[in-house]
Amino acid sequence: MNGPHAGQRPSPWVERWAGLLPKDAPVLDLACGWGRHTRWLAERGCRVTAVDRDAEAVAGLRSVAEVVLADIEEGPWPLDGRQFDGVVVTNYLWRPLMPQVVASVAPGGVLIYETFAVGNETVGRPSRPDFLLQPGELLEAVAGRLRVLAYEDGFIASPDRFVQRIAAVRELSANRSPVRYPL
């Protein structure tokens, strides 16, 4: 991978919860940037749809993913009606899209989301409130729609940052046996 994130490992949060994805699962990597998660998920056998507005960043992903070049903040949602077994979002927050992000999780699918939270302004960028989650904000975004498996809100060292992250599933019909989500 080329670009500013060359050689960067996937988020440990994504690595942990991606185990819920079956091989060959359709996965959305939203605001994928240079594609560290896109590539990693593709290597695991997932069929990845990578969405970003930066044509230079996604150019190298076409061999491993379906690339959707779109400005999801200024333009229309490019994935109307599509759902995925996995939706991955890291280091990105655009609040008006939260309903579409949650709606993109297919029945039985998982949302794996991790981004910056309030407090990050004390250690670096981003520091604007528009880009920092408020306490409990991810929980509110999925409330009544997805079942939360894990949620964290706190400080991570090296590099210093405040994050909020969630792993949540859209459960299948209630008539089925309980699903055993491995923790």
Domain that holds residue 123: 12-169
pLDDT for 183 equals 84
In a domain, 178, yes or no: no
In a domain, 176, yes or no: no
In a domain, 181, yes or no: no
CA–CA dist 124, 146 (Å, integer): 32
Mean pLDDT of the chain: 93
> What pLDDT, in 10s, does the model give residues 54-107?
999 999 999 999 999 999 999 999 999 999 999 999 999 999 999 999 999 999
Instruction: Tally the domains of the chain.
Output: 1
CA–CA dist 112, 150 (Å, integer): 10
In a domain, 80, yes or no: yes
Provide φ and ψ at 121, rounded to 5°.
-60, -20
**Domain containing 132 — which CATH number?**
3.40.50.150
> What pLDDT, in 10s, does the model give residues 93-111?
999 999 999 999 999 999 9
User: Residues of the chain with pLDDT > 90: what percent?
Assistant: 86
In a domain, 182, yes or no: no
Query: In degrees to the nearest 10, what's the CA dihedral of 57, 59, 61, 65?
Result: 120
Per-residue pLDDT at 2 exceeds 80 = no
pLDDT for 5 equals 53
In a domain, 130, yes or no: yes
CA–CA dist 89, 72 (Å, integer): 13
CA-wise closest residue to 28 among 17, 41, 16, 15: 41
Sorting pLDDT into bands at 50, 70 and 90, what band is 3?
low
Question: With 0-12 CB in 10 A as exposed, 13-18 as middle and 19+ as buried, what is 126?
Answer: middle
pLDDT for 88 equals 98
> What pLDDT, in 10s, does the model give residues 140-152?
999 999 999 999 9
CA–CA dist 46, 55 (Å, integer): 22
pLDDT for 7 equals 62
CA–CA dist 122, 129 (Å, integer): 12
**Cβ atoms within 10 A of the Cβ of 153, count?**
19
In a domain, 129, yes or no: yes
Find the DSSP H helices in the chain: 12-17, 36-43, 55-58, 98-103, 137-142
With beta carbons less than 8 A apart as the criterion, state whether 128 and 151 touch.
no
